[in-house]
Amino acid sequence: MQPQAMGRAPQPQAQYQAQPQGQAQPAARYERGGEQAVADDDVPSWVTEFSDDSAVAAAAPAAAPAEMPAAVSPPVRSAAPARAPHAYVITPVPAIDWDGNWPALAAGLPLRGVSQQLALQTELIECVFDAGAATFRLRVPVDTLRASGNSEKLCAALQECFPAVRVNIDTEIGPVWYTASAEAKARRERLQQEAEAAVEADPFVQSMAQTFDAFVVPGSVRPIAT
């Protein structure tokens, strides 16, 4: 399913383009938007004043205390709300013959490594078709996912899926909810719950529990791989 478009807060953005098969791809476009005090070691020596028959040591002036460097706090990442502020809606794009299901599309892309994680952890804001080009507007949770050519790899993989049009991607940083990674996690949790419920409802398991006070070892139930 596909999220509705949300208002975009000013965030660093990056744009990438891919040409249809048979055409050279243009270069990707990016848009990016202490002092420490040193302690004085020159501690003055004792100054001695001599009289005719005695020596009196004069107190040395106190050394200036060393200034500690100001503490630098690491950047704080704002936590995303527990629930998504918008409904999960799929919007088909007939112009490119796509059903609009971004999590399903992202999960099936032939990517590996960080570029695959970029696809799995991004949320589609909208897909706009105009003048023969399809632009995928994506929200990315962390900037490092789209660095080091990963955005270009994602764009190229999408171009292979839609060879009849020119594919562009436009990314922004922000919290995400409806992603392929989130869907996969929800599915694993649902299968786990169904497996545990099936074991608890099994007549043999219930008989063993009643007769011998047996129990299922926590964490031992696993859903059947599908």
Q: Of 53-57, 112-116, 127-131, 174-178, where does mean pLDDT reach its minimum?
A: 53-57
- Give the integer Cα–Cα distance in Å for 172 and 14: 7
User: What's the chain's average pLDDT?
Assistant: 76
Q: In the CATH hierarchy, which fold is given to the domain comprising 13-27+86-173?
A: GMP Synthetase; Chain A, domain 3 (3.30.300)
Q: Which residue has the higher pLDDT, 148 or 72?
A: 148
Domain boundaries, the chain: 13-27+86-173, 188-226
Model confidence at 197: pLDDT above 60: yes
> Given its phi and psi angles, is residue 219 left (phi above 0), alpha (psi -120 to 50 degrees) or beta?
left
Give the CA diameter of the chain: 111
Express each pLDDT in 135-185 by its tens digit.
999 999 999 998 879 999 999 999 999 999 999 999 999 999 999 999 999
Is 128 in contact with 134 (CB distance < 8 Å)? Answer: yes
- The residues with which 139 forms a beta bridge, in sequence order, are 123, 172
- Could you tell me which residues come within 8 angstroms of residue 102 by beta carbon, excluding any fewer than 6 positions away? 2, 123, 124, 127, 178, 180
β-pairing, 55-58 with 166-173? unpaired
Model confidence at 128: pLDDT above 50: yes
pLDDT band at 86; cut points 50, 70, 90: confident
- Give the integer Cα–Cα distance in Å for 11 and 173: 6
pLDDT of residue 164: 95
Q: Of 17-21, 133-137, 189-193, where does mean pLDDT reach its minimum?
A: 17-21
pLDDT of residue 85: 76
pLDDT band at 54; cut points 50, 70, 90: very low
Is 124 in contact with 82 (CB distance < 8 Å)? Answer: no
Model confidence at 35: pLDDT above 80: no
Model confidence at 57: pLDDT above 50: no
